[in-house]
Structure 1
């Protein structure tokens, strides 16, 4: 049962920065080097300097985090960032086009308590990477703030929360911006105690599924433990007990998650003939197209399928795409490899790829993995032809399936899915020290 709280946030002072669209940014893991350069040039106070500070000549191991922390302190001192007058929650909305139709998704930006997992269940499904969690913790420690929200899903079957959100939007002042792909992001600050109390009452009884942000969530937990050791036991209402969270309704989660397609770099690029010989007993394999630029063609049978169990695998040795569909012997083999896994877990293509294909049948588990968010990213990455062993196009997972995996306390490989149209960094920041 997530306990939510109003937060006393920091926001950009629009009198200083002008257009909010110029200073916000996607989450750090969605920022490519080219995008980072573009965001740096856009505005001298862009939050990219906080969440994805770029390397400079002569940098040491901690230089980028230290630079980010200096920006953070300077912008507060200069009034670029300003304190909210009172603790608030924020109604959040993003609007985008999907196949020519306008889609709106609404939620609540707030603090979520995470220090008592035994009675406030925050379910997670993705594995995390220790190095990434450590990097996020170090930045958090220097800035003492949540710079980007995690994303949580809660159930609202009777639409009571939706009605409350719509009422608050009609009464509040909209603060809005548009991102580089044309998505409109808006927030409405809410400081009314009665409205906040109603939101807490509606959200409190339901568990929360973490749909994005496992790494910053764990970094927040690590920060709280560090602060507890550094300052002594924290009061129950200390800001560090809460993590900045965008709460969305489970009922609005259709098409919320998108696949992240992995490129595996290893010492020996695999040919399609090698691939079929090594996985053919477990998968039906058909070579369909050739060349990195044919990724979109290879993706079509994956996207058109309404079920798991298919992969399109690119072989760097001969630059061919192979459509692979798991057979019953493949499921049986995966169950042998992972005897504690549920049927739901075994049915997911991403688990078949990592645990059966990569680790067992091909035995390239030590390959370097580069996640790509779009088909264009895959084309650009494998087109560089720098040691690509294989790449895989993976079907998206439904939120219901992710929830099942999370509630069963099973895990999916790290960085295998991401949220479509993620909330921007820079709409609000959540300081983790008392002020």
Structure 2
């Protein structure tokens, strides 16, 4: 079973950097050029310079953003900007945030987790990965010898016993608090009480872990470990390269939010609700929800109230109308993708990808898609006519993630969006 360990994290010294909000950053995969520039401007010690440094003219195999990150990390530790924790610790981490007018607090803790290749233990992925991001992260791991940002892991714990146990170590203690660029309040407490640490390790010993976010980082950590082993550089089973930094959240945590990932499809110019209905009617029962923003919100409200995965909302930009489509039968999906499990075939994103795009709308071509998570973002895209067909899909639930991952399957890309992202820079984990 996955093994968790406390560790001596490396953290910013507030006496040296001042405002912690000026030195943390989101994970690398959600940082665009404008945000990268802002984070660079926020502080000469912002973790962006390690996590996603700038490319510079004249960069080559020896001098590049990875080598600069390694030098900065070494300098900051020597200067005391970054300091090692006094004792091995777990790190309780709360994030308070707002989604669609409701406030939530997600609670978990960060630990080292012993690495297991997917399919060979009790750590499960749920999404596909790509080679490019893994190659990038491996260069950074090799240059710096650090996990700079945590993998996000989920574990079954209906009574939230592990969180209760670790939070016994933060009673009456003041957290480090930082509000990020999206307004999310992040609070962190190190926990070093030996009895608390031992209790949490015991409670976690028999629990599987499902990767929610950070698949590329996890697979890269396994690759880094394997390369160290091949080179004869591992010092034994306790070598830090055998572990990765992970945020662990109970699947039963009330603040755990999976946002839907709506699709904005281009490549269907002139598509109207009438034409769409003709194409979808062989497989779907259809209901018209009217025009404009009110039609979109009414359609989405019906989907939320129903809670089923077999509902998809469609907004045809050419005429501004909104249509709700309900899959009539599972038979066609069973025939289209028999290699997948019934759980996979029943997902709204699977139905949209395999049945709608690839079969029913195939005569119109395969669309280019962008992805958003909030209804206001959908409406903005429709209003600007930056897509031809807006597709509202229901969010996957934790039960879908657990069932599909446990079956060693992976969901279609962009199936889940766990909000908010975990901050980079609160705790760094040495892996060398």
TM-score, normalization by structure 2: 0.86
Instruction: Please state how far the C-alpha of 1:326 moved relative to its aligned partner.
Output: 1.5
Using a 3 Å threshold, how does the CA distance of structure 1 residues 276 and 72 change in structure 2: closer, same or farther?
farther
Cα separation, partners in 2 of 1:17 and 1:295, compared to 1, 3 Å: farther
Report whether the alignment pairs 1:421 with 2:420. yes
How far residue 233 of structure 1 moved from its aligned partner, in angstroms, is: 5.0
What is the CA distance between 1:405 and its match in structure 2? 1.4
Equivalent residue for 2:250?
A: 249
Three-state SS of the structure 2 residue aligned to 1:82 is: strand
Give unmatched runs, 5+ long, in structure 1: none
Q: Distance in 1 between matches of 2:55 and 2:322?
A: 36
Shift of residue 396 of structure 1? 1.2
Alignment of 1:186-197 (within 5 A): 186-197=187-198
Indicate yes or no: 2:140 matched with 1:139: yes
Residue in 2 that maps onto 1:14: 14
Q: CA deviation at 1:242?
A: 1.0
What corresponds to 2:4 in structure 1? 4
After superposition, residues 69-84 of structure 1 pair within 5 angstroms as: 69-84=70-85
Q: How far 1:182 moved relative to its partner?
A: 3.5
Post-superposition Cα deviations, 1:308-344, rounded to whole Å, max 9, x if no partner, equal: 112223446666544322221xx21111111132322
Render the CA deviation track for 1:129-182: whole Å, top value 9, x for unaligned: 333333333333333221211122223344432332231011655222122343
Structure 2 CA distance, aligned partners of 1:70 and 1:295? 51
What CA distance in whole angstroms lies between the structure 2 residues aligned with 1:34 and 1:318? 34
Partner residue in 1 for 2:216: 215
Using the alignment, how far apart are the partners of 2:350 and 2:96 within structure 1?
32
Matched, 1:372 2:375: no
RMSD: 3.2
For the 8 Å contact 1:146–1:429, the answer to whether it is kept is yes
Give the aligned partner of residue 408 of structure 2: 409
Aligned to 1:251, the other structure's residue is in SS state coil
Tell me if 1:431 matches 2:430. Answer: yes
What's the counterpart of residue 36 of structure 1?
36
Alignment check: 8 A CA contact 1:256 1:399 kept = no
Aligned partner of residue 247 in structure 1, secondary structure: strand
- Partner-residue secondary structure (3-state), 1:257: strand
Q: What secondary structure does 2:252 align onto? A: helix
Gapped regions of structure 2 (runs ≥ 5): none
Q: Which stretch of the first structure deviates more once superposed, 162-171 or 62-71?
A: 62-71
Aligned pairs for 1:344-363 within 5 A: 344-363=343-362
Q: How many residues were matched structurally?
A: 429
Alignment of 1:53-92 (within 5 A): 53-54=53-54, 63-92=64-93
1:333 and 2:325 matched? no
Structure 1 CA distance for aligned equivalents of residues 28 and 345 of structure 2: 31
Note the 1:220-231 alignment, pairs <5 A. 220-231=221-232
